[in-house]
Amino acid sequence: MSRFRTIDRQTPYLLPPSIDDWLPEDHLARFIVEVVDSLDLQAIQGAYRGRGSAAYHPSLLLSLLIYAYATGVFSSRRIEQ
């Protein structure tokens, strides 16, 4: 059993009530998530040793990194913001 944090992109928020309200259907982030979700990341998941607290899932982190690079954000500090 993996110790990754679960990804729930359907979680409702206070304002707006859903992430679907924030992004239009043709937004770059939606495209990136769809592409990354179709990739086989078993090699990355298999390398995770499961120590410490639960980690973020590799598909979430990869999606974030690709989106940041695609929008011209290369600094890890800027990505964190």
Tens of pLDDT along 22-53?
Answer: 789 999 999 999 999 999 999 988 888 878 88
Rounded distance between C-alpha atoms, residue 65 and residue 76, angstroms: 9
Sequence ranges of the domains in the chain: 19-80
Tens of pLDDT along 49-71?
Answer: 878 888 888 999 999 999 999 99
In one-letter notation, the amino acid at residue 60 is L
Tell me, rounded to whole angstroms, the distance of Cα 17 from its chain centroid: 19
